[in-house]
Amino acid sequence: MRQGPDLVRSERRWTAAVFREPRLAASNGNFSIGVLPGEGVGPEVIGAALEVLTAAEAGGARFALRTGGPIGRDSEVLSGKALTEEVSGFCDEIFAGGGAILTGPGGSRFVYDLRRRFDLFCKLSPLRPYPALQEAGRLKGSTVDGADILIVRENTGGEYLGEWDEVLDPKRGRLCRHAFHYAEEHVRRLVSVAAELAASRRNRLAVVIKDGGLPTVSALWRDLAREAAEASGVELRVLDIDLCAYLLIQEPLSFDVIAASNLFGDVLADLGAVLLASRGMSFSGNFSEAGAAVYQTNHGSALDLAGRGRANPIGQISTLAMMLRESFGLHREAAWIEEAIAEVLDQGFRTFDLASPGAIVVGTEEMGERIAGRVAKRARRVE
């Protein structure tokens, strides 16, 4: 019986399609991790993830942890900036040592500024539902059973990285303007990564546009997607965003890899969390060609839940597993974490966002402890 989402898979890393420079080995046997706890529920879910990381160390891998400063709205209160030079410098040092960043949620312009600063052009958001949660979500279990989707989002162009201003028009009042563009080089590298990933999976690539609404941008994406699909030998579908959103919920099994612009990819990844039963289950990694990597959940700061112990830490714990596999090649440790999550869910434990009749509802800390305990058991078997 399958216990988790695609737990038996090859040891090929998705980042092999993104990174164009060799990764540095662990320094002195320690893998370097920079931690940004973030705001809202960030410190709570990051704390749960780090407990799981400590449990994984029992298997022999060693990690050198450093903690950076405030980000997002917390940082703005202190400095006026969502991403400070201090935090940017911290990330620089981690990347220079071959490490990766594990971050909690940060609001305002934090993620957009971070992606621009380090050219984190590619965001990968996996959508693999856990079988135990089929009845916890809003969709029928038969609709999501077997879904395995990878959303490949362009991170450094489009609406989120445009230019904007506001002026007062004497006749019409506030006049807000926003301009953005996509360059051929940026679209080409993203769809090339997506096509290569599709070729390593099930050979199906969907590219998302909006033909009538964004004619020139859509034509650019379509043309370059065709070139990339032909070069990689994958089947291509080009879909308008509204149809793609509908099909993602109605026919998720029809998708393999989805490539999308910044805005469209953002919407689809959040919408796709419906397949996972909760946004608290969603996660992602952001990557540059040079090997920089930042791992985050796809949910926000949940300020209303902060300090209440009600946040779901599984998305953040899943970012940890993704980091171990994609940045450090620790496939065994990543599988331990994913298997542990599946086991805890199979035993009926749920956080508040996943509560259903008959479930054993636990808080953030206890969910982290239960997953960590099962990781530790697996790690001790190889001592």
Q: Residues 149-163: pLDDT tens digits? A: 999 999 999 999 999
- Reply yes or no on whether 74 is catalytic: no
The predicted pLDDT at position 383 comes to 59
- Reply yes or no on whether 304 is catalytic: no
The pLDDT tens digits of the residues spanning 275-296 come to 999 999 999 999 999 999 999 9
C-alpha distances in Å from residue 271, one per residue of 5, 247, 249, 276: 19, 11, 8, 10
User: Which pair of structure tokens corresponds to residue 100?
Assistant: 């990766």
Q: Provide mean pLDDT across the span 97-125.
A: 97
- Reply yes or no on whether 242 is catalytic: yes
Averaged confidence pLDDT in the chain: 94
Half-sphere exposure of 333 (CA within 13 A, CB side): 27
C-alpha distances in Å from residue 346, one per residue of 2, 128, 255: 11, 15, 26
| Domains in the chain, CATH or no CATH each | 1-121+282-383 (3.40.718.10), 138-276 (3.40.718.10)
State the CB neighbour count (10 A cutoff) for residue 58: 17
Catalytic choice (211, 270, 346, 377): 270
DSSP 199-223: HTTTSEEEEEE-TTTSHHHHHHHHH
Q: Provide mean pLDDT across the span 199-206.
A: 98
Q: Provide mean pLDDT across the span 100-123.
A: 97
pTM of full prediction above 0.85: yes
Q: How far apart are CA 15 and CA 97, in angstroms?
A: 18
Given a cut of 50, whether residue 303 has pLDDT beyond it is yes
Q: Are 44 and 111 in contact (CB under 8 A)?
A: no
DSSP lists the bridge partners of residue 27 as 30
The predicted pLDDT at position 125 comes to 98
Catalytic choice (74, 113, 256, 266): 266
Confidence of residue 28 (pLDDT cuts 50, 70, 90): low
With tokens 């090997």, the residue in question is 291
- Reply yes or no on whether 211 is catalytic: no
User: Which pair of structure tokens corresponds to residue 36?
Assistant: 């940004």
- The length of the chain in residues reads 383
Q: Provide mean pLDDT across the span 314-341.
A: 97
Confidence of residue 12 (pLDDT cuts 50, 70, 90): confident
